[in-house]
Structure 1
Amino acid sequence: MLELRSLDAGYGSFQALFGINLDVKAGEAVGVIGPNGAGKTTLMRVISGLIRPIKGSIAMEGQDVVATPAHRIVDLGIAHVPENRRLFPRLTVDDNLKMGAYMPGARAKYAERLEFVFDLFPRMKERRGQMAGTMSGGEQQMCAIGRALMSDPKLLLLDEPSAGLAPVVVQQVFELVKRIRAGGLTVLIVEQNVQQVLKVVDRAYLLEAGTIRASGTSEEMLSTDTIKQAYLGV
């Protein structure tokens, strides 16, 4: 579904990613793990068109993502839940969800998608008239994921969904990821919480200093000495 080949990316004169090759197949959940500053958020931003690569290619179901205007990338079926959620804090939950369905194709399915999101997140239905900025961190994360799902994506990009959340809420977020992918949605998730993310993905890539250092199934990654020593404290 998603293919990255020899991808370099960065900001101005600063290069953050070097020669990235990454694949996500339809129906998979794939994780990208690694320390702070490894380039994980840059990877998500370049896939969703927030920044353009220095070189290399990105294809979504054979469509050239790099050649697609940033505001049309959501039409290719890619929805991005950014780090720190990036909600509109002074808009209601309802209005934030409407923003996720702004493309013409999504507008036609608005009622159906809203019902889907409220089934997934009953709390959002209860809070629909509340200002997004007044909710708890966990509720804001639900709203941000719901907003992305309103566009009826094929591929959901999740950037550090557990960041800044209490441990009990982190568990809830990863349970939600399991439910989302059980519905057939393809997920690419960037996460520092290695132990948790490897429980919900099929495969993972280890990103360090802007390069892919290792990749494999969740089981393979959990048994790798590099992962055990650096991320699991074993």
Structure 2
Amino acid sequence: MSMLELHGVCAGYGGFRALNDISMAVEVGESVAVIGANGAGKTTLLRVISGMLPAAAGRLSMEGQDLRTLPAHKVLSTGIAHVPENRHLFPRLTVEQNLRLGAFLPSARARFPERLDYVYGLFPRLKERRLQFAGTMSGGEQQMCAIGRALMSGPKLILLDEPSTGLAPVVVQQVFELVRKIRDDGYTVLIVEQNVTQVLAVVDRAYLLSVGRVEMSGRSADLLASEAVQKTYLGL
């Protein structure tokens, strides 16, 4: 049994079907990317997994537990932490207050000092800025804070939605190196990303979404070498 499993998942907004018959799996300790153009359904996929959008059909499970039966606020307790696109920090709370909100589960509260030390070790800049309002930091620092907040819950699976959006190229590289570091630390990562070349360099496997369907899947190196990805996403 895989950590995360989706079978025949469909979802949408009103009469619009954004996901059609999606089947995929994520194994323990893997880093997996979902790539594709704007409108392919990538963000919708993460929203369905984290319970923010109900699936219209299909099966979703986390370590065998049926996710469709859980309300969104209970999904975190299964070990899933979602870092949404555009970060959604509380701008008028300090960095440390934002991080504390990530540890609201009883199991995480009990280990708060340990989790905070881990996040500050991963992001020394956040420790320097811990008393600063989150909304006054740079985009890269805010992304670090959003990822740190997710890690505070001690998750089994981290969902990252377009973490490189709006960041300077040098910061984008730091974000992808961070994805590699988190995976090396034993976390399982599912990342949605348009920056195809860089994300495929740091993940184990990938799924290519096109108009709400899985068009291709496999090892990241194989997708990067495929004619479809090279022509459509890399301009080669």
TM-score normalised according to structure 1 size: 0.99
Who is 1:32 aligned against? 34
The equivalent residue for 1:194 is 196
- 1:179 is aligned, of 178, 181, 200, to 181
Out of 48, 51, 54, the position equivalent to 2:50 is 48
Distance 2:86 2:25 in 1: 25
User: In structure 2, what is the Cα distance between the partners aligned to 1:168 and 1:42?
Assistant: 28
Aligned twin of 1:163: 165
How far residue 15 of structure 1 moved from its aligned partner, in angstroms, is 1.1
Structure 2 residue identity aligned to 1:138: G
The answer as to 2:150 corresponding to 1:148 is: yes
Output aligned runs, 1:101-140, within 5 Å.
101-140=103-142
Give distance in 2, aligned partners of 1:218 and 1:177: 14
User: For 2:81, which of 76, 79, 87 is the aligned residue?
Assistant: 79
State percent identity of aligned pairs. 65
Aligned to 1:66, the other structure's residue is in SS state helix
Partner SS state of residue 55, structure 2: coil
Matches within 5 A, 1:64-103: 64-103=66-105
Determine the C-alpha separation between the residues in 2 that align with 1:88 and 1:187.
24
3-state DSSP of counterpart to 1:216: strand
Aligned match of 2:213: 211
Return the letter of the residue paired with 1:131. F
C-alpha displacement at 1:233, in angstroms? 1.4
Match of 2:68, SS state, is coil
- Aligned counterparts of 2:14 and 2:103: Cα–Cα separation in 1: 32
Between the two proteins, the alignment pairs up a number of residues equal to 234
Give distance in 2, aligned partners of 1:152 and 1:211: 31
Q: Distance in 1 between matches of 2:110 and 2:71?
A: 22
Secondary structure of the 2:69 match is coil
- Post-superposition Cα deviations, 1:173-225, rounded to whole Å, max 9, x if no partner, equal 00111110100100000000000000011000000100000001011101110
* 5+ long unaligned stretches in structure 1: none
Instruction: Name the structure 1 match of 2:22.
Output: 20
CA distance, structure 2, for counterparts of residue 12 and residue 116 of structure 1: 42
Give, as a single letter, the amino acid of the residue that structure 2 aligns with 1:146. Answer: G
- Secondary structure of the 1:187 match is strand
In the TM superposition, what is the alpha-carbon distance from 1:105 to its structure 2 partner? 1.3
**After TM superposition, which residue ranges in structure 1, 4 or more long, deviate above 2 angstroms?**
none
Q: Counterparts of 1:69 and 1:49 in 2: how far apart (Å)?
A: 7
